[in-house]
Structure 1
Amino acid sequence: MLELLGFDFFQNALLAAFLVSIACGVMGALIMVNRLFSMAGGITHGAFGGIGIAFYFSLPILLSTSIFTLFLAFLLAFLSQHYEHRSDSIIAVIWAFGMAVGIVLIDLSPGYQNDLMAYLFGSILAVSKSDLVLMFGVDGAVVMLIMLFYRQFEILSFDKEFSKVKGINTSFFYYLLIAMIALCIVICIRLVGLILVMALLSIPSFIAENFTKNLGQLMILSALLSMLFCILGLGLSYYLNLASGACIIILACMAFAINLGFQSLKRI
């Protein structure tokens, strides 16, 4: 595998794995403690509409998907807040709407869409310089916002009522959190694809939770676990000539199962 380090495409893949792991570790921890996995799942699948728009209008894929995903995320956040008792139904509708828009526009797009599978299941070895720029930008924004507002996100995540008493603008930070989740999902597309994004967001944070209850430490440990899964998955895909995104998620799922078994044995 060491000989691959001399190739630009593999260097880009490793850098992408590093950048995406940071975002997934931070946002996965926040998604878990705020119980937003169902909402993140709706945003993830709804993002397919952005891919369809990009194919139909010949736009840059990640830019188009970013804009469309942010729109859907804010719409979903707004409707979920105003119809809280029916948030699961709203998530299902947004999920279906995004997927339907994507399918229709891809069907209407001329030519054979041979790149579509790469966005559904990931193609980390096809990461371009422009993709890396977007990943670096999202990473920088996420890390900066967490450093600036860590205390606010921590209070909001564990006690919303107390955050209101402390004078925190809960609506602003809620929408900010949703925007960060949406952008994190977009940069994961190249790595593992839309179909497998939720596993990379959820599994590292689930495992990391067993070793720390501190939010900051949870973010760091989740990011490190994501990096480990990505690097080992890349190596496995190289030696077995398999899809890299699927290999990353399979290793993560194996770690999830081992951790679950170990925790069950501890309880017994």
Structure 2
Amino acid sequence: MIEAFAFEFFRSAIIAGLLASVICGIIGSYVYVRHMISVAGGISHAAFGGIGLGYLLGADPLAGALWFTLGVAALIWGLVERAKEHIDTLIGAFWAGGMAFGILCLSLTPGYTPDLFSYLFGNILLVAPGHLVMMTLLGAFVLLLFLIFYPVLQALAFDAEYAGISNLPVRGLHLMILALIAVSVVVLIQVVGIILVIALLTLPAAIARPFSKTLRGMMIGATLISMFLTTCGIFLSWIFDIPSGSTIILLGVTVYLLVLGGSNISRSCMKDIQNSDF
């Protein structure tokens, strides 16, 4: 395995995985605590519409995905307060509509139809140096933002109503988080793809949750877990010559199920002890 580091693309993949872990660990923890998984899923799948639009207009597909997902995030933000009872239906509409719009745009694109496998499932082994710079800047921005606004974001994450009563800028912060999710999705498309990005955002946070007492601890734990998953996934994909994005996610699912099973066994044992005569 050590000989793999002789290749620049492999070193770039490891760095990309570590940077993605910082982004996913921080934003994913907030998404998990706020129960925004369906919202993040809607935004991530809507990115496909931006990719298709980019190809149709002859522009950079990732640039098209960025502006399209930012627009979707803004629409979700504007509709959340006005249609709370229908929010799941609206998210589903963005989820399916974005994918359908992307397919329509690609069908109307003249000439050669691009291979969309890398956009749907990612290929971290093909991350370009420019993309690493983008991920570094985003990771630093996310880290700085959460360090500055952590007390406010913590209040918003656990009790949004109290945060609103306390005159905190709830709507503005919510828009900021949605925009960060949109940007993160576009940046992470290269790593695991549109289909799997929601899992990378939520699985590490879900694994870290039982071992965390605070949001900060959960973010740190999720970041470290994500680093473990991405690094091991890249090595496994190298050894067995299998897709890296799918390997990372399947490894995450396996670890999550093990943690979930261990937690259930632990709770069952505690109940048995409490109900015993000793």
TM-score (norm 2): 0.93
Contact 1:69-1:182 within 8 A present in 2 as well: yes
Q: Give the drift of 1:114.
A: 4.2
Counterpart position of 1:51 = 51
Amino acid at match of 1:7: F
Percent sequence identity is: 37
Between stretches 153-162 and 59-68, larger displacement belongs to 59-68
For 1:137 and 1:110, how far apart are their aligned partners in 2? 35
Q: Give the drift of 1:61.
A: 2.7
> Which whole-Å deviations, capped at 9, do the CAs of 1:115-168 have from their partners, x for residues lacking one?
410010011011112211221222122111101111110011111222123321
Output aligned runs, 1:1-268, within 5 Å: 1-268=1-268
For 1:206 and 1:74, how far apart are their aligned partners in 2? 26
For 2:257 and 2:113, how far apart are their aligned partners in 1? 36
Amino acid at match of 2:51: I
> Which whole-Å deviations, capped at 9, do the CAs of 1:60-107 have from their partners, x for residues lacking one?
232221111111111012112211111011111111221111001111
Amino acid at match of 2:188: C
Secondary structure in 2 aligned to 1:183?
helix
For 2:112 and 2:236, how far apart are their aligned partners in 1? 30
Amino acid at match of 1:169: P
Amino acid at match of 1:189: I
Amino acid at match of 1:149: F
Which protein shows a greater Rg?
Answer: 2
Cα RMSD (Å): 1.2
Structure 1: unaligned runs, 5 residues or longer: none
Secondary structure in 2 aligned to 1:82?
coil
For 2:148 and 2:60, how far apart are their aligned partners in 1? 31
Equivalences, count? 268
Q: Give the drift of 1:10.
A: 1.2
Secondary structure in 2 aligned to 1:210?
helix
For 1:111 and 1:245, how far apart are their aligned partners in 2? 29
Q: Give the drift of 1:196.
A: 0.7
Query: Aligned pair in 2 of structure 1 residues 240, 111: CA closer, same or farther (>3 Å)?
Result: farther
> Which whole-Å deviations, capped at 9, do the CAs of 1:198-218 have from their partners, x for residues lacking one?
111111111101101210110
Secondary structure in 1 aligned to 2:211?
coil
Query: Aligned pair in 2 of structure 1 residues 257, 122: CA closer, same or farther (>3 Å)?
Result: same
